[in-house]
Amino acid sequence: MKNYKSKKQEDVKSSDGLAATSHPLATLEAISILNKGGNAVDAAIAASAVLSVVEPNATGIGGDCFAIISMNGKKPVSYNGSGIAPEKAKVDFFIKNKINKIGLDSPHSVTVPGAVHAWSTIHNDYGKLEFEQLFLKAIECARDGFNVTEKVSNSWKKNQLKLSKNKNTKKIFLNNGNPYKLSEKFKNIKLADTLEKISKKGANEFYNGNIANAIVTSLNELGSLHTLEDFEKQKTIKNDTINCKYKDIIIHQCPPNGPGITVLFMMKMIEKLKIENYKANSAERFHIEAEVTKLAYQLREKNIGDPNFIDMDLKKLLSHSDIEETVKKISINKCYDVGNLNIPAHPETVYLTVVDKDFNAVSIINSICYVFGSGITSNNTGILFQNRGTNFRIEQNHPNCIDGLKRPLHTIIPGMVFNNYKPILSYGIMGGQYQPVGQVHVLNNIFDYDMTPQEAISFPRAFHFNNIYQLESGISKRTENDLKKKGHKTVRINEYLGGGQAIQIDWQKGLLIGGSDPRKDGYALGL
């Protein structure tokens, strides 16, 4: 594995607009849209559409979307485009049928895809260009094909068996039964046709038209509980962000069922623990990060779910007294035992951010949950479905217990930071359950260790997950040994933790500074 800190990659600077995504074609399309007179919202949707084609391992219109948007430097708005479970998906059904866990490739893992509705809602609120124009590049990539990049080809290789189980998936996503390799051209002509219909007829075609009919038919054939009425009931939730003060900045997140409160909880604890007193690469810094991770994830698992189904007192969870009480459990010298939380792991997501010449800022994230989602592709549409429903628990009285029309506890979280009532950082970290930790890591790197966006993103990472502390190779042996002395069970991972993008906004200088994660195939680019 690479030491990502050593890979030479400079910050990108611009005064006229900047985009940072996980794939070069998506970044180029975002910049192209800005050049055509589109704003950050137009560019972000267009880039998301491209990513839905060129990173089918991580995203697609069969998945979900969350976004935070600040227009004209004003108060940020949260968009929750996560999908609902079928109305018939009651916990009693699963208990009666002796299903105690929703399988990764089960049709029951497919929640109604929310991404298309979210894109449409955001565009209706803020878009400048015609909706149809935002899909042209994505349609071209799907119909004419694109050359597969390195990271995507690696995912394809590892998931050959998964892709071979469903007849539609095998036909579209395997090349005569083989995974697509680096630089090979991949086409999804059926998806091109579907995207063209959506671009011309809008989201209504996806949720009320022929596309919805095809999706429901395909899933029902596999034994799912989906109905056309479920698709008609899918809506994007638009509301205020949740936030907390950290020193002199305000960190904004999407409310639950998103896990953004995890970031806020961790940052409030870290503020009490004064992480800046320890070096960025020290065992103490990584130890603090691990300890607040354990406690924050425990809190999330016990308290957070769909607010339409459970009561949550977010203000209390983030209150001074609750934070103080939790921090008391943390020692700088040894580990705190939270037991085994048995949290499911799912590593794939795509995050992107765009800021235009007017400093309109979009922080947006799209995902199909696990790598290549459920592995199920619908008839005649080319749509590969997410398996976000596997996040539900088949456990009565659990805050994330499955229920009809309920949204599962999510993992994808865009972030935005404000200072003096204006956005100063639009950022996000990819990588399933790692995302809250990754956000905290990058925020500390920028605001406590004075790193630039690119330095903060490239810096070595670690993730304490289900009692194992995963370390990237960039973390020194000395740091690892010191972590072991504190009681951590460490393991060196052969790959990487997440990805990420960030754009810093300097209002005084009129300057945008962007970075993109070398762990992925993308990059940042300015006008």
249-253 vs 414-419, strand pairing mode: antiparallel
Helix H segments across 463-511? 477-485
**Residue 269 contacts by C-beta under 8 Å, 6 or more apart in sequence?**
292, 295, 296, 323, 326, 327, 330
Alpha helices in 304-449 (DSSP H): 314-317, 320-327, 435-447
In angstroms and rounded to an integer, the radius of gyration of the C-alpha atoms of the chain is 21
Query: Residue 365 belongs to what H/E stretch?
Result: strand 361-367
**Of these residues, 149, 169, 326, 349, which one is catalytic?**
349
Other CB atoms within 10 Å distance of the CB of residue 322: 16
Tokens of 211: 């596309």
Q: Is 241 a catalytic residue?
A: no
Cα separation, 413 vs 269, in Å, equals 19
- The answer for 284, left when phi > 0, alpha when psi is -120 to 50, beta otherwise, is alpha
Q: Spell out the residues 6+ positions from residue 337 whose beta carbon is closer than 8 angstroms to its own.
A: none
What the block records as the tokens of 40 is 């950050």
Output the CA torsion 59→60→64→66 (10° steps). 70
Catalytic residues: 349
